[in-house]
Structure 1
């Protein structure tokens, strides 16, 4: 069991939870757009690209928009879907939510909610601008960086380095990017 229930081994558990949220939103007349982040986003992205990824413990989302923010936040809490608005340092959530940034929509017949995962480059940045070992392990052990457009990723990294307050901390994963890319044969 994970911290919030059973370990999520594959995308079925994520989709089931999103379908339940959709059903409740439909009954309550709430529409919303959500962006899945963290391990759940990686599971969905890897499955879409026919690749493997480790299990995760929870479903992390950020709210893009809603017809009733109070109700959707309450429903997310009731269904143990975590909102991560204050956890991710970079990219800024405004960037992830902005319509100009491409996102992959999870199309499974949802009616009241639309669900997206970030492009691989943005998802990689959430792992790179972190100090968590688990995020570094995800970069090393998954194919996330192999799915990225290298030039776009490197451009984002350079842009976000200017904004990142803790860049001087040697434990920030972005300092390992060149080595990880060498190991993976990207550079």
Structure 2
């Protein structure tokens, strides 16, 4: 199916990016399904011949690919919005627990402190001390894991950037209008 890539780059760039990205299997299956349904073939040379032969069929094929691309983007947007709602819900829960004077409200603070202190200590040890050769892989893995956790802690407390928040608001508005 790789011969389809140049054809797709001209017809539906996002579909082509699926193929060039990590969604290869699903994208190829989707494109070949559309080609079989509309053009009667999933052979790259047969697709090119069918498109060259009939402009109306070519337009129908291009429209179906664009619709598939739009559907994929809509699903991605819905997943992002669900993630935003999840984060917002977690923060609201923390506020409600704090208002109720529940000790559970300090759970996020405690976990955040443990992660950040753990990352700082581990980073200090790695910089300050020579890591034995037989432990370098383990130390690197641990430091990388703690760095990811520290990044998540900062994202939780600081939130996303203003541009990202504007994008999310625009996505919510666009999806609400549908």
TM range (shorter): under 0.3
TM-score normalised to structure 1 length: 0.20
Q: Which has the higher contact order (CA 8 A, sep 6+)?
A: 1
User: In proportion to residue count, which structure has more strand?
Assistant: 1
User: In proportion to residue count, which structure has more helix?
Assistant: 2
**Higher Cα Rg: structure 1 or 2?**
2
TM-score normalised to structure 2 length: 0.21
